Structure 1
Amino acid sequence: MSTTGATSNLKQADVCQDCLPEPEASRKPEPDQNATPELRSQGQVSAKQEEDVEDPSTFKPLDLGIGPAITIEYCDRCRWAPRASWTATELFLTFPSPAITSITLTPAVEHSGRFRVWLKLPSESEARLMWDRKIEGGFPELKVLKQRIRNVVQPNQSLGHSDKPGTAVVPSS
C-alpha cells in the first residue's frame, strides 16, 4: 500500500503535511552552503533559507514553558517504564497540544515502588500531584486520571465514553 493511499481515508487536518512525500516538481533546491549563523545574523540569508526544515543550522529550540506539562515519576527497578510510557501516550491522545504541551517520564531511582503523576501549570509555582500509587492504593485507572487532569486543564471538555455521567461541564449557550 502506498503512503498516498494510506492517507487518503484521513481528513486533511489529521495528516501531517511534512510527513507526506513531496512531488518531484515541488522539492526545494539544495540549501545555500553559505548559510552560516553569521550570514543569517547579518540578514544575508533569505526568509526561505531561514525556514529550511532540512537544514539543522536553522533549527530553533522549543519553548517548553508555554503550557501545562505532566511528569510521570515511576520506579525503574520495578520495571514500570512501559506502564509510564503507555500512560503518557494515552494522555497525549486525550489532551493534544496546547492542552498538554509536554509529558516527561522520570525514573524515581531513590524511591522504590513509586508511580506518581504530576501536573505543572505555567500560572502556578508548584506542580500538582494528580496520582500517587501508594496513596491511592494502586496504579491509576486511566479514566479516573484523565478526568482529574481534564478538570484542571480543560473543565469544559467531554471525555466521551470515558466520562462519568454528569462530570463534564456543558457550556451554556
Structure 2
Amino acid sequence: MKPIISIEYCPKCGWLLRSAYMAQELLTTFSEEIKGVTLIPSETGGTFIISVDDKAIFDRKEMQRFPEIKELKRLVRDMVSPEMDLGHTDHK
C-alpha cells in the first residue's frame, strides 16, 4: 500500500502557502510512490510537522527551522522508495 504524507501546519502563522508548495513538490516528485499528501491545519500555534503514514520525519519546533525542499525530498525518499534517484537533489 502506498504511503500518505501529511503536513500539519499553523494557519494562524500563515503557513498554508508554504505547506501547499511543499505538497506540490512532493506530489510531483513522488507521483508513483505515494497515495497523496494531506494538509492539516493545526489547532496548536507554531506547528509544522511532516509525517509519512503518521511517523513524523520533520518537526519545525525540534529543528528550529523549516526543511529545505531538497532535504524534505531526501527524507521522504528514504521512507517511501530508498532506491529512487532524485537526480540533482542527490548530488552536491
**Residue from 72, 89, 102 that aligns with 2:36:** 102
Give the structure 2 partner of residue 133 of structure 1.
60
Structure 2 Cα separation of the partners of residues 112 and 151 of structure 1 = 29
TM-score relative to the length of structure 1: 0.51
Structure 1 Cα separation of the partners of residues 49 and 91 of structure 2 = 23
Structure 1: give runs of 5+ residues left out of the alignment.
1-65, 121-126, 166-173
- By percentage of residues, which structure has more helix? 2
- Name segments (4+ residues, structure 1) moved above 6 Å: none
Percent identity between the two aligned chains: 39
Count of aligned pairs? 92
- The amino acid across from 2:46 in the alignment is G
Give the structure 2 partner of residue 72 of structure 1.
7
Structure 1 Cα separation of the partners of residues 37 and 29 of structure 2 = 13
Structure 2 Cα separation of the partners of residues 134 and 85 of structure 1 = 19
User: Is 1:86 matched with 2:21?
Assistant: yes
TM-score relative to the length of structure 2: 0.94
The structure whose RCO (Cα within 8 Å, separation 6+) is larger is 2
Structure 2 Cα separation of the partners of residues 72 and 152 of structure 1 = 15
Structure 1 Cα separation of the partners of residues 9 and 20 of structure 2 = 10
For residues 43-81 of structure 1, the C-alpha deviation after alignment (integer angstroms, 9 at most, x for no partner) is xxxxxxxxxxxxxxxxxxxxxxx4100010000000100
Structure 2 Cα separation of the partners of residues 73 and 128 of structure 1 = 12
Cα displacement (A) at 1:137 = 1.3
Secondary structure of the corresponding residue to residue 140 of structure 1 = coil
For residues 4-40 of structure 1, the C-alpha deviation after alignment (integer angstroms, 9 at most, x for no partner) is xxxxxxxxxxxxxxxxxxxxxxxxxxxxxxxxxxxxx
Larger radius of gyration: 1
- By percentage of residues, which structure has more strand? 2
Give the root-mean-square deviation of aligned CA atoms.
1.1
Give the structure 2 partner of residue 113 of structure 1.
46
Secondary structure of the corresponding residue to residue 37 of structure 2 = strand
- The amino acid across from 1:160 in the alignment is G
Secondary structure of the corresponding residue to residue 76 of structure 1 = coil
Structure 2: give runs of 5+ residues left out of the alignment.
none
